[in-house]
Amino acid sequence: MLKAQLPIGTIIALLLVVAFIAIMAFIFLKFSSGANPLSDLLSLFNTGSTPNAPDAAVLESAIQCSFYRCTEGCASDNVKKLKNPTGGAPFDCSSFCNASWTDTGKSDGKICGDNSKNHPVTADVLQTTFNGEKLSLSNVSFSPCIGESTSCGSPASGRPKFIYVEINSVASNTETKKSCMYSSGFQSLIVTSGTYNIWTTSKSFLGDTGQATYVCGV
């Protein structure tokens, strides 16, 4: 007895439906995390790499400052030791701590979410022959991945411990790809010259499992 077979057109249509559902699920997860879904899709085909640009020493210190003043509080040793990075301009993380900005109203309190966004850590990225300076996870030990964002986030968004840079502030084709948790992202990239506000969320989009830090052009 002959077995019934589906027409080729029907099989193709079913495969297209499955592919469409998979893409929609991917985009939904990206929007939920505060990331840029188009950027992540394009990154799958990105063959660019980060040239040997100068390290963004002050920006990297500012990112760590924002993260540690949120997760450990302003009395943390990690906050106190972040000053005058090698190869960068003078910087002192403690100057971005103020009792009136903390969750407890005390000098050793934490600065997260709206408090962090309203009182960000600031840093300058210098103009170079590479159109900016290199931000690298090699110099920011707490973070598993760098992502790109179309906005500067909200008080409860982003993946745990990710660093998000506004996509308009990233020099084209300088991203070095990295496989990240349930996501694609970057090991390093060049941030274009300018002044940036850095702030850290009160929690991630998954809940109280780790904060995300945003790098926002002024």
Residues sharing a CB contact under 8 Å with residue 2, sequence separation 6 or more, in sequence order: none
CA–CA separation, 60 vs 40, rounded Å? 22
pLDDT tens figures, 5-29: 656 767 677 777 777 776 666 555 4
Q: What is the pLDDT of residues 132-144, one digit of tens each?
A: 999 999 999 999 9
In this predicted structure, the answer to whether residue 85 has a pLDDT above a threshold of 70 is: yes
- pLDDT for 38-60, tens place per residue? 444 444 444 455 567 899 999 99
Closest by Cα among 141, 147, 142, 129 to 189: 147
What pTM, to 2 d.p., does this model score? 0.76
Which residue in this structure is represented by tokens 């893409």?
23
pLDDT at 154: 65
Q: What is the pLDDT of residues 149-193, one digit of tens each?
A: 888 866 657 888 999 999 999 999 999 999 887 677 999 999 999
